[in-house]
Structure 1
Amino acid sequence: MRPRVTLHMMSSIDGRINTVGWPVSADCHDAYEMLHRDLRSDAWLVGRVTMAEFALGEMRPMLADRIYPRQTWKAAAAGMAPYAVYLDRSGCLHLNRERVNGDALIAVLTTNVSDDYIAELHRDGISYIFAGDTELDLHRALHILRTEFGIETILLEGGGAINGAFLRRDLIDEVSLLILPIADGKPGVPTTFDHNIAGARPLELISVNILRGGLLHVRYQVMSADHAPGGRAVAPPAS
């Protein structure tokens, strides 16, 4: 049992997602955030690098005065969706806050993180779960988020490596893509899906909407990994 996962991203027409240097207006970001709200999910989930953009102030490391059990901990801010979830395998991100955009934070960790880092999360009021010993088990992470936090729907919002990892493990049910009227073409920059060694995945179109400024909002259903050419098998809804 896991939440339903919708990938929600903004990209150029060639799939690049790093907007640095793009002639992007505020309207593009406003459109993305409007769609984020309209999709009405219980949580949004990103990787460590993406969440680092929301860090406040200087790093304030802690020295733990005890050994913490490797089990779920819910901060005072937890209890009501929406949540802001981030993946941090090694415990490297220092946010200095308990919420982002009003949403309570949840860290997804491995049991290999230090007690010092767990003490820092307690100080900052960030809930956490454990999903794996040295590598993150995304299936387990989603299961815990649903069973222990009541999260039934998630917006996956990058970066490209995280998106690729979810796709590779058959953990994306739908794609919501805001395509900007921009051609990038730079080599070696993040794309919507990176490091998907499992190979290409067929999609089934749900809808296309033309927005102001030449933006396109495209939605797809992700087909099952064993989808055969010419078939109509669609990944079943998350249960």
Structure 2
Amino acid sequence: MKPYVLLNSAMTVDGKIATSNASMKISGKDDLIRVHKLRKKYDGIMVGINTVLIDNPKLTVHKINAKKEDNPVRIVIDSKARTPLNSEVLNECAHTIIVVSECAPSSDVKKLEQYCEVLVCGKERVDLKEALCNLYDLGIESILLEGGSTLNFSMFREKLIDEISICIGSKILGGYNSKTLVDGEGFSISECVSLELKKIEKIDDNDVVLTYTTVY
């Protein structure tokens, strides 16, 4: 068994989620509240190590009324145990699980274990299927996936995403090196992921939230 996984993100009309080296504000206040309501609803919230290194997010419920116990378990996919010890995800606001691979330096793993729970899955890179099964066994039955683009691709490739909720902000970013919703190696035409549209919602005057389920 694995947790139910919802990929949530905001992107520009041309499919960008960030510049090549920095995050950006894409959607408005109403969408931010929507995201924090989702966080409060899910058991876990997952990001990749690049998101931690670039954005240093808290990954807590703090834009709406919430108690400490309303925060989801923070999950970081970090094959080589590179999460800085002063990261916001290692504060005491919520429980955190760092998922590493067997190739992660043992000294770095031991340091992380002083601040959070560490889960070892996979040899050279984190085995996402194994990780999700282990997370389910730990009582995490639903996960809100918040990127970034490389982890999004890996999760799609392993057919681990069940639903997608995308806020399309009324902006154009452009740029050859700007981050898209899904980067990575990409799929062939025959292997690309098919989606079924479930809901369209206008938000923040000029933005729209699209909800899809995946069809594998």
Instruction: Give the TM bin, normalised by the shorter chain.
Output: 0.7 to 0.9
1:11: which partner in 2? 11
Give the SS at the match of 1:194: coil
Q: 1:207 to 1:165 in 2, by over 3 A?
A: same
- What is the one-letter code of the residue matched to 2:43? D
- What is the one-letter code of the residue matched to 2:178? V
**1:161-200, aligned counterparts within 5 Å?**
161-195=150-184, 196-197=186-187, 199-200=191-192
Q: 1:154 to 1:29 in 2, by over 3 A?
A: farther
Cα distance in structure 2, aligned partners of 1:130 and 1:215: 40
**1:68-147, aligned counterparts within 5 Å?**
82-96=72-86, 99=90, 102-123=93-114, 125-147=115-137
1:37 is displaced (CA, Å) by: 2.8
- What per-residue deviation string (whole Å, max 9, x for no partner) do you get for residues 173-224 of structure 1? 0000011000122112211111233542111111111012311111001112
Give the SS at the match of 1:96: coil
- What per-residue deviation string (whole Å, max 9, x for no partner) do you get for residues 124-172 of structure 1? x211101101121100000011102x10110111111110111111111
1:50: which partner in 2? 51
Cα distance in structure 2, aligned partners of 1:12 and 1:189: 11
Q: Is the 8 A contact 1:55 1:94 kept in 2?
A: no
- Give RMSD over aligned pairs: 2.4
1:99 is displaced (CA, Å) by: 4.2
1:96 is displaced (CA, Å) by: 2.5
- What is the one-letter code of the residue matched to 1:8? N
2:149: which partner in 1? 160
1:74: which partner in 2? none
Percent identity reads: 25
1:70: which partner in 2? none
The structure having more radius of gyration, on CA atoms, is 1
Cα distance in structure 2, aligned partners of 1:192 and 1:44: 17
- How many aligned positions are there? 197
Bigger share in strand = 2
Give the SS at the match of 1:17: strand
1:118 is displaced (CA, Å) by: 1.8
Q: Is the 8 A contact 1:16 1:192 kept in 2?
A: yes
- Structure 1: gaps of 5 or more residues: 57-78, 225-239
Cα distance in structure 2, aligned partners of 1:203 and 1:135: 28
- Structure 2: gaps of 5 or more residues: 59-68
Cα distance in structure 1, aligned partners of 2:15 and 2:179: 9
Kindly indicate whether residue 212 of structure 2 is the aligned counterpart of residue 223 of structure 1. no
- What is the one-letter code of the residue matched to 2:198? I
Q: 1:202 to 1:42 in 2, by over 3 A?
A: same
Q: 1:31 to 1:102 in 2, by over 3 A?
A: farther
Q: 1:80 to 1:120 in 2, by over 3 A?
A: farther
